[in-house]
Amino acid sequence: MAKATSLLLVSDRQITHLALDPDQVSDVIDTAFDADNDHMVYVDKAWHGVHYLFTGTNEAGEDPLNFFLTGGSAVGDDLGYGPARSFSSRQVASIAKALSPLDHDVLAARFNAQHMAQLDIYPGSSTWVEADPLADDSPRYWLLDTIDDIRRVINTGREHNLGMLVWMS
């Protein structure tokens, strides 16, 4: 089964509600997938490559840019690769601030296909090293496009004082 990650903006009040009634997490996620939702981004298999560009690591990395793999508060049942994790509006604002200096040039310079393959960055070394790095559909551009979507959602969260759910399924 493929590992896919998603982000969904929710209010701090909803996070509190989900902590009190964790059985509702799946319903919130299912509803988000069923709607045309500008408060959600389906990162799909790009999650680990994005994490690598944010942190330079295959695992933990520095807070708050390590939010794909760690941080937040676990809420709800296992969704395939653990429970969803909630991040408060304050934490989302901190993530947005940390992302702000990471423009395309900075992130593109961090892309190192050989290193990513050595670290076994998901979805696997062939994704990173066998592609034409200059092609419009190269993994570098795939990650940068995905980061644009992530940044849009996180900046919306910061602007509207929203928290966030992150989960892998």
What number of other Cβ atoms are within 10 A of residue 126's Cβ?
9
- What pLDDT digit, counting tens, does each position of 107-154 carry? 999 999 899 999 999 988 777 777 666 666 688 889 999 999 999 999
- pLDDT for 22-53, tens place per residue? 999 999 999 988 777 889 999 999 999 999 99
- Give the tokens for residue 44: 């799909």
pLDDT at residue 125, rounded to an integer: 72
pLDDT the model gives residue 131: 67
Query: 83 preceded by cis ω (within 30°)?
Result: no
Q: Supply 88's token pair.
A: 């408060």
Q: DSSP state, 115? A: H
Is domain 5-168 in CATH 3.40.190.10, yes or no?
no
Q: What is the pTM of this model?
A: 0.92
Residue 132's φ and ψ, nearest 5 degrees, are: -75, 115
Q: What are the tens digits of pLDDT across the range 11-21?
A: 999 999 999 99
